[in-house]
Chains A and B, each alone.
Chain A
Amino acid sequence: MAKMTLEDLRNLREQKKKDMSKRDSAGKDVRIIIGMGTCGIAAGAKRTLDAFIEELDAQNLENVAVTQTGCMGLCYVEPTIEVIVPGMPSVIYGNVDEDTARRIVNKHLIKKEMVNDHVFDRPAADIIKDGGK
């Protein structure tokens, strides 16, 4: 890189700060937990995980921590994920493919509305309109 001016340095700092902030758990109040058991991975959880990370980056959401967990026990609707947003009930979504992942980011995380047709277990599917489809 060529020698920097003051402005170059400031721009670089802003950009790198964003990268570094992804390492901190502080300030990350939203969590997406992806079931990465054997069943989940076989059903494509890895692609789902990638889709989440790319979409979160595209939408500039910095307060979200994406972590993995083992099998959640809903092997019939893998990949399954859990989304925890403050002020909303924690929700477990099933059959989350890449498109659904992007929908969850845009609808659940940004608009704070549940993606009803992928709710299977929590909150109970029968109390959600169109739940579990």
Chain B
Amino acid sequence: MPKRNYVLVCGGTGCESSKADQIFRNLKIACTEQGIADEVQVVKTGCFGFCEQGPIVKVLPEETFYVKVTPEDAEEIITEHLVKGRKVSRLEYDTKGSTKNAKVDDIQFYQKQFRIVLRNCGVIDPENIDEYIARDGYAAIEKVLFEMTPDDVIGELKKAQLRGRGGAGFPTWLKWSFTKDVVESEKYVVCNADEGDPGAYMDRSTLEGDPHSILEAMTIAGRTCGASKGYIYIRAEYPLAIKRLKIAMQQAREYGLLGENILGSDFSFDIEIRLGAGAFVCGEETALLASIEGERGMPRPRPPFPAVKGVWNKPTVINNVETWANIPVIILKGGDWFSKIGTEDSKGTKVFALTGKISNSGLVEVPMGTTLREIIYDIGGGIANGKKFKAVQTGGPSGGVITADYLDTPIDYGTLTSLGSMMGSGGMIIMDEDDCIVDVTKFYLGFSVEESCGKCSPCRIGGRSLYNILDRITKGEGEMADIGRMKEIGLAMKKASLCGLGQTAPNPILSTLNYFEDEYLAHIKDKRCPAGTCKELISFHILADKCIGCTACARKCPTGAITGERRKVHRIDPDLCIKCGVCLETCKFDAVFVR
């Protein structure tokens, strides 16, 4: 029987961890109980992107957008909305100001977005190949196999001016043509799905929501460059993405879209998954290739580049997930179409993962050239809890910060680099006035030090030295010479390190020294943390004129540092205080303050 309604449930990792799977099962049970199971289809899709409001349930064709749904709400959605036609208004997303929301288009979060990479995320069931096919899936490989020559494919990519989305932004067509032009019988195609920046989940969501687009794109590269085997290198911490990739590969093989003689042509191609153990350095391409071969994941000097000598020393095309996801669309719609989107320097769109102190955490895809203000305020809904914007960190541990002065800069590869940050893979961490820039920088340095493979000394020793200096500064033991010392070590690391990890690890320091030198000086000279975060530099006090002596703080204090009689002003003993902040949270009279 044909279906009259579709109920889409977000099946991304974020919503799954908020019991989306239970919601999915409850919806199905309720449909069966109400006798409408054969006319209403419940579909589990990939990430809708609006993670702040998850778990999300969308009812089609009327496009009702339910947010923060619990498993208990499932039955009501079915009995009220699907049976009686009455929307469950308490679960509808409130678009603020306008009437209770009707359609997805009315939600500001989606209005400025333009979806190429995430075209199928939240739309199709990623575990059903037929739904991908219905959305023009595998039409690009048809075209490449039967209508285009390898040179045509590279020509389209060249026209599209697609640049690698992994961070460095190398032109994709050039990479492919290097591999294509090497005369060698054995070549490989590799998908870099080793996404490891703190706060980044663009690639995971793409794989979870639309795995077939990656398989199709890799097959296109295999045909174009003359490879018959591909590897997807993905970290084992992404179990859902791995599961969906495996299902997708199985289905593609059954349909003859992977394997021998694809679609009856003379071209054969298959893909294997290689699991990584979650080492950040394995996102660096030469380390990744070593890891695929079963070696320890350490980078090697380039050249030779992987395009000429890659996995098993054979020519290898290696691209990251987001780059791959663009390929089928470029083949189908043409390079000219693609190059109309974006800026002079960077074409197409970019997916960003918005996290940190932002109202709407989530996954967004915008045309290149969109300003940070549009991303943070229009899409992201501004800073959470009405605090003041301080900076946004892009490019993860390899990137830097961008301050309020540059909010109106159109974002592309070039502008971000000129601001001392970088595109990176697309993590965007928003910081507010309560975040200490030195502390955040220390966090990133700590990450790079942990993840350094230790092969080359500039990275191994330099990173550790930088971290130690930062640690001293946050403890109030910094000295003025530290600033120059950090710059010196940082620049040496940039020049002398073997791979991207070490070359970019000092970026967070260099960038924050540039924009927030005052804050470093406050820590070093005044022994003061302006944001009130660095524990060694702050102390808690009670304002005598505000304290009414309610004893609430004294009862909560874990170390008994607060003393005072009932209805008399209390005081905090600095020797006993461990600066946990419980008194600050507990006081209802704003009598506790941090200095």
Contact = CB atoms under 8 A, between A and B. Distances in A.
A and B: interacting chains: yes
Interface of A: 1-6, 9-10, 12-13, 16-17, 19-20, 22-25, 28, 33-37, 41, 46, 49-50, 53-54, 56-57, 65-70
Given A6-B146, A24-B60, A12 B254 contact: no
B135 A20 contact: yes
A53 B254 CA distance: 32
Contact of A13 (B85, B139, B256, B261): B139
Interface string B85-111: 110000000000000000100000000
Contact of A67 (B6, B85, B261): B85
B86 A13 contact: no
Given A4-B255, A68-B85, A25 B2 contact: no
Contacts of A54: 1-2
Nearest to B86: A70
Contacts of B4: 49, 53, 66
B134 interface: yes
Closest 7 CB pairs of A and B: A68-B85, A3-B256, A16-B134, A57-B2, A20-B134, A23-B60, A69-B85
B75 interface: no
Contacts of A25: 60-63, 103
B84 A23 contact: no
6 contacts: A9-B142, A13-B138, A25-B60, A36-B83, A53-B4, A70-B85
Contacts of A2: 256
The contact size tier of chain B is 35 or more
A70 B136 CA distance: 38
A53 B2 contact: yes
Contacts of B257: 4, 9
Contacts of B255: 1, 3-4, 9
B65 to A, nearest CB: 12
- Residues of B contacting A: mostly: loop
Interface string B382-401: 00000000000000000000
B142 A6 contact: yes
Contacts of A35: 85
A119 to B, nearest CB: 22
Nearest to B130: A16
A67 to B, nearest CB: 5
B181 interface: no
Nearest to B62: A67
Contacts, number: 99
B131 A20 contact: yes
Given A22-B61, A25-B62, A57-B2, A6 B131 contact: no
Interface in B48-94: 60-63, 82-86
Contact of A34 (B85, B254, B263): B85
A9 B85 contact: no
A1 to B, nearest CB: 6
B142 A37 contact: no
Given A3-B264, A69-B85, 18 more contacts: A1-B254, A2-B256, A3-B255, A3-B259, A4-B256, A5-B264, A6-B263, A9-B257, A12-B130, A13-B134, A13-B136, A13-B137, A19-B3, A22-B2, A28-B61, A36-B84, A70-B84, A70-B85
Nearest to B43: A23
Contacts of A65: 61-62
B39 A50 contact: yes
Interface of B: 1-4, 6, 35, 39, 60-63, 82-86, 103, 124, 130-131, 133-139, 142, 146, 254-257, 259, 261, 263-264
A35 B84 CA distance: 8
A23 B59 CA distance: 9
B122 to A, nearest CB: 12
Given A4-B263, A9-B142, A23 B1 contact: no
A41 B259 CA distance: 52
A69 B131 CA distance: 29
A71 to B, nearest CB: 9
B263 A17 contact: no
Nearest to B138: A9
A70 B133 CA distance: 37
A28 B60 CA distance: 12
A71 B256 CA distance: 51
A34 to B, nearest CB: 7
A70 to B, nearest CB: 5
Name the residue in B4, B103, B138, B263 with the highest tally of chain A Cβ atoms < 10 Å from its Cβ. Answer: B4
Nearest to B60: A23
A9 B146 CA distance: 13
A2 B254 CA distance: 6
A57 B153 CA distance: 40
Contacts of B85: 33-36, 67-70
A22 B137 CA distance: 18
A19 B134 CA distance: 8
Nearest to B103: A25
A9 B129 CA distance: 11
Nearest to A25: B61
Contacts of B263: 4-6, 9
Contacts of B130: 12, 16
B45 to A, nearest CB: 11
A9 B264 CA distance: 11
A5 B146 CA distance: 12
Name the residue in A9, A10, A23 with the highest tally of chain B Cβ atoms < 10 Å from its Cβ. Answer: A23
Nearest to A10: B142
Contacts of B256: 2-5
Contacts of B254: 1, 3
A5 B261 CA distance: 10
A68 B84 CA distance: 6
Name the residue in B1, B84, B86, B137 with the highest tally of chain A Cβ atoms < 10 Å from its Cβ. Answer: B84
A77 B257 CA distance: 55
Contacts of A22: 2-3, 6, 61
